[in-house]
Chains A and B, each alone.
Chain A
Amino acid sequence: MRRTTRGRLLLAGLLALGLAVFVTAPMVGMKAVTVQDVLGNALDVTAHKIFWEIRVPRVLVSFLAGAGLGLSGMAFQAMFRNVLATPYTLGVASGASFGAALCVRAGITLDLPLFSAVTLCAFAGAMLAVGVVYGISRSRAGMSPPTLLLAGVAVSFLFSSLILFVQYTSGLTQSFRIVRWLMGSIDVLGYRPAVEIAPFVITGSLIVLALYRELDLMLLGDELSMSRGLNVDRTRKLLVLAVSLMVGGIVAVCGPIGFVGMMAPHMVRLATGADHKYLGPATFLFGGAFLTICDTMGRTLAAPAEIPVGVVTALLGGPFFLWLLLRRSGSGWWGLG
């Protein structure tokens, strides 16, 4: 069918874009890097080092983070049947940030082979926030999406003030560390952050991608999807787990990077439609490529200074969010349903 072909073409296109971004992004930057430098048979040892030890790990992290955030957004949008519902707007990212900030403040260190203490705390914070928002959304039958969003905003504020409190009680160095990290930045050195983030994003992504049929059904609403044979509760729990894993893992390393979770799936949806079989992989690729491009812009536009990637996405995302809000009044489908 035509739609199938279109979906496949789009996926192929995005795969090509992803690869192109993956190859080009590490070449771009303050220090010019040539192909010889990359392969290591050139004289410029610094360039070789910059490429392999700074830029490639950074591209890896930003790609994984963007992909994970995109899929998290997509999962929440389907689960809450609302394009404005994302981990960021519903306060999950703030929850994760709070967990991480608390961890930095308390100076908890754990030397596990794969996870840092910050990651685990961020994961716990994300779960806590999801739990609160989800509890609120279930507490009253027929809760309207605007109310849900307001609940998300409230949860977000709550955790933000808790973070401020944590900062208030910390010393100057810790406080600066928290602020810098709250801006959302992919400031990595070496492969450790990529190794840390990968299991979270990959596990979460696999869960979300495997549930494509269930995500489609969730858009029908609880009653109809139940009657189609969907175990709604179990699906929600799996999705919440997947999103918390991804957001927790990403926030611990990169801080709360906003708007990717809303923009990536929505942009892709304009092209693929709501069929999650295509929407899922396409969002993964687009989210990854998008955040990598944003990060590359962040570190080159104002060079030698670096704009944190969270600032770049927020600058793009703010207007996008408004556009979405204003546009939705006209369009009837896939909205505040």
Chain B
Amino acid sequence: MAGRETVIEAQRLSFRAGRRSILEGVSFHAAAGETVCIIGPNGAGKSTLLKCLAGINETSAGALTICGRPLASYSRRSLARILSYVPQAYGHELPFFVHDFVMMGRYAHIGPLSLPGKADRDAVEHAMATTGTIALADRHMATLSGGELQRVFIAAALAQQTCVMLLDEPTTFLDPKHRFEIHGLLMKISRDHGVTTVIATHDLAFALQSADRIIALKEGKLVYCGEAADMTVEATLSSMYEIPFLVLRHPATGRPIVIAEDA
């Protein structure tokens, strides 16, 4: 991954909710087209970190640079053109049809008081084709299954045509088949579109097999941050989750596979 342009540069980020400290001194960087997984137990601050990166949460300390500019220097609109965010599963209650929802991803690209143009329609069509949601275009959000909903949310983020996509537990409530599909989709987005994806996930198998870079959090602090290949798997996971892990190797890729197990 050497030589690629750095897209996200976070230095000693901290976030406080009231008096409680949620994130403390988190530093990492990510390059163009990388897949970055944020792992950690519940309450470790994974979602909070994503929301800080998305500019939804305001960090209390630290410096955050996205595409070479400090995050704070972006307007909401200009930020939405380089960074998209896929929240944790929800959306059944949204009163929209799928196509209209994906088109709403173009908000930052459409001028005030003007209508969506050809570029917007093309971007929406392309995003829906990539995510395989064209057949869902005229369906109402309330009628979608969990896997379909997740693909539609990713389509909307893709329609934003950003160089960074942040995803908060995109596969948590999905069965293995749909999880596999979403993972494939995410890999396609980062490889083919050169989008840097930052994924908060509990899916250790995915993180260990597919991530270029891993950010391991525990109680708001970094346990590990760096290339996935360099991580000492057993030590990192055990200290993070406080249970022993058995580490095996994937026969083809040599990448680690872990099982929680008594030593």
Chain A positions within 8 Å of B, measured between CB atoms, are: 1-3, 210, 213, 216-217, 219-220, 222-224, 226-232, 273-275, 332-335, 337
Contact = CB atoms under 8 A, between A and B. Distances in A.
Chain B facing A: main interface SS: mixed
A302 B87 CA distance: 56
Given A210-B113, A217-B104, A226 B96 contact: no
Contacts of B69: none
Interface string B62-96: 00000000000001111111011101000011111
B100 interface: yes
Contacts of A334: 93, 95
A228 B108 contact: yes
B142 interface: yes
A229 B81 contact: yes
Chain A facing B: main interface SS: loop
Contact of B85 (A227, A273, A274): A227
B97 interface: yes
**Which of B54, B76, B87 has the largest number of chain A CB atoms within 10 A?**
B76
A7 to B, nearest CB: 11
A227 B54 contact: yes
**Which 8 A-B pairs have CB atoms at the shortest separation, nearest pair first?**
A229-B80, A229-B108, A227-B85, A274-B95, A334-B95, A229-B77, A228-B107, A231-B76
B56 A333 contact: no
Contact of A213 (B51, B99, B110, B160): B110
A273 B101 CA distance: 13
A1 B99 CA distance: 11
Interface of B: 51, 54-56, 75-81, 83-85, 87, 92-97, 99-100, 104-105, 107-108, 110, 113, 138, 140-142, 160
A1 B80 CA distance: 28
A332 B94 CA distance: 9
Contacts of B92: 332-333
Given A332-B92, A333-B95, A334-B93, A224 B87 contact: yes
Contacts of B87: 223-224, 227
Nearest to B160: A228
Contact of A223 (B56, B79, B81, B94): B56
Given A227-B85, A231-B75, A333 B97 contact: no
Contact of A230 (B84, B94, B107): B107
B93 A337 contact: yes
Contacts, number: 81
A273 B95 contact: yes
B162 to A, nearest CB: 10
Contacts of A227: 54-56, 80, 83-85, 87
B84 A216 contact: no
22 contacts: A3-B97, A3-B138, A213-B110, A226-B76, A227-B80, A228-B104, A228-B105, A228-B108, A229-B76, A229-B78, A229-B80, A229-B81, A229-B107, A229-B160, A231-B77, A274-B95, A274-B96, A332-B142, A333-B94, A333-B140, A333-B141, A333-B142
A219 B95 contact: yes
B93 A332 contact: yes
Nearest to A275: B100
Given A213-B107, A220-B94, A231-B76, A226 B56 contact: yes
Nearest to B109: A229
B93 to A, nearest CB: 5
Contact of B76 (A3, A210, A230, A332): A230
A243 B140 CA distance: 30
Nearest to B78: A229
Contacts of B56: 222-223, 226-227
Contacts of A224: 85, 87
A213 B100 CA distance: 11
A216 B96 CA distance: 9
Contacts of B95: 219, 273-274, 333-334
Nearest to A211: B112
A229 B75 CA distance: 8
Given A228-B104, A230-B76, 15 more contacts: A1-B99, A213-B110, A216-B104, A219-B94, A219-B95, A223-B54, A223-B87, A224-B87, A226-B56, A227-B54, A229-B108, A231-B77, A273-B96, A273-B97, A332-B93
Nearest to A335: B93
Contacts of B94: 219-220, 333
B104 A223 contact: no
Contacts of A335: 93
A226 B113 contact: no
A131 to B, nearest CB: 23
A146 to B, nearest CB: 16
Contacts of B142: 332-333
A5 B223 CA distance: 56
